Amino acid sequence: MADTSAPALLVLHAVRLRGMTTGAEAAARFGLDADAVGELLLDLEAYGRVSRASFAGTSGWTLTDAGRAEGERLLAEELAATGHGPFVRERYATFLAHNDRCLTACTDWQLRPDGAGRLAVNTHGDPVWDGRVLDELTVLGGVLDTLSAELGLRLPRLGGYGARFTAALARVRRGELSWVDRPRADSCHTVWMELHEDLLATLGLRRGEEPGV
């Protein structure tokens, strides 16, 4: 049975997952009403949970330390109330079993051995090399699709990652090569890393605490 998350949790969580986001982006992340999210962000700002920030020509909302702590409290309450903790932990272990494969594939998309055996920037002139990487990403997309679908049946906010990853990969195959690892866009790498952060936040873990999950 699926359990729907509260709006305040979803907004705080959207800001956490994106790092810095506009109100419209936060609303779109979980399919919320944009006006309602805008008002909620102002309330959260008044309570010191979020603040406005600018960086490298972009601006938006970011979590404060208090906002991060509040988000983690709400996530922990949700997980305890739904009873889905053991299931999410099992699926997180499955995710971790494939994590290094995804990171390696993204690195191989960026770098490849040159004629002297040294790593050099991948100029995407070798279709065999790139084809191997895309085949690996396709397999990983299938893994992500299954994981996200299973998780989304319990907590809908954990769904959709597989479709986003597949959409990015389709763009790559159409010639938009940056969609493997393009930052601040729904690239393959961004989607994979976002699910990692989502699972960490949901389980109340920090990076580096993977053993013992």
pLDDT tens across 95-128, in order?
999 999 999 999 999 999 887 778 999 999 999 9
Number of C-alpha atoms within 13 angstroms, CB side, residue 158? Answer: 30
Integer Cα distance of 57 and 130 in angstroms:
33
How many domains does the chain divide into?
Answer: 2
Under 8 Å between Cβ of 78 and 5: yes
Under 8 Å between Cβ of 24 and 18: no
Is the domain of 75 the same as that of 88? no
At 136, is the pLDDT very low, low, confident or very high (cuts 50, 70, 90)? Answer: very high
Integer Cα distance of 147 and 14 in angstroms:
20
Residue 26 lies in a domain: yes
Q: Which tens digit of pLDDT belongs to each residue from 47-86?
A: 999 999 988 778 899 999 999 999 999 999 999 999 999 9
Residue 213 lies in a domain: no
Integer Cα distance of 36 and 44 in angstroms:
12
pTM above 0.85, yes or no: yes
Alpha carbon 138 to its chain centroid, in Å, reads: 17
Is the domain of 155 the same as that of 97? yes
Q: Which tens digit of pLDDT belongs to each residue from 138-195?
A: 999 999 999 999 999 999 999 999 999 999 999 999 999 999 999 989 999 999 999 9
Under 8 Å between Cβ of 153 and 146: no
Integer Cα distance of 41 and 22 in angstroms:
10
Residue 211 lies in a domain: no
Name the average pLDDT for the chain: 93
Residue 15 lies in a domain: yes
Under 8 Å between Cβ of 88 and 74: no
Please check the confidence at residue 211 and state whether its pLDDT lies above 70: no
**Which of 64, 80, 96 is a domain's end point?**
80
Gap between the terminal Cα atoms of the chain: 24
Domain that holds residue 72: 7-80
Nearest CA among 92, 83, 77 for reference residue 1: 83
